[in-house]
């Protein structure tokens, strides 16, 4: 999911909750887990921005590349 899509989901979740929808209804409409809805509702925009910045600095691709390289060297 792209950064802009996550921001849109964040504000959509908050708007739906303000309109009175239950957590399960929001999750169903946005096709996400209830845990995601709870997590996004627990954050204000500044906290969500920090969360998003943290996601960008993940190193999973780098770790996967090293594992793949190590595996191909062994063969």
Say how far apart CA 40 and CA 31 lie, in whole Å.
14
Residue scoring higher pLDDT (39 or 58): 39
What are the pLDDT digits (tens) for 13-37? 999 999 999 999 999 999 999 999 9
The residue that leads in pLDDT, 8 or 58, is 8
Residue 3 confidence (pLDDT): 81
* Cα distance between the two ends of the chain: 34
**Exposure string for 19-52, b = 16+ CB within 10 A, e = fewer:** eebebeebbeebebeeebbeebeeeeeeebeeee
């Amino acid at each position: 999911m792209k950064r802009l899509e996550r921001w849109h989901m964040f504000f959509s979740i908050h708007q739906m909750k303000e309109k009175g929808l239950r957590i399960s209804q929001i999750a169903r409409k946005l096709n996400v887990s209830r845990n995601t809805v709870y997590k996004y509702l627990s954050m204000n925009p500044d906290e969500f921005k920090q969360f998003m910045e943290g996601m960008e600095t993940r190193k999973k691709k780098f770790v996967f590349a090293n594992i793949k390289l190590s595996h191909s060297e062994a063969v």
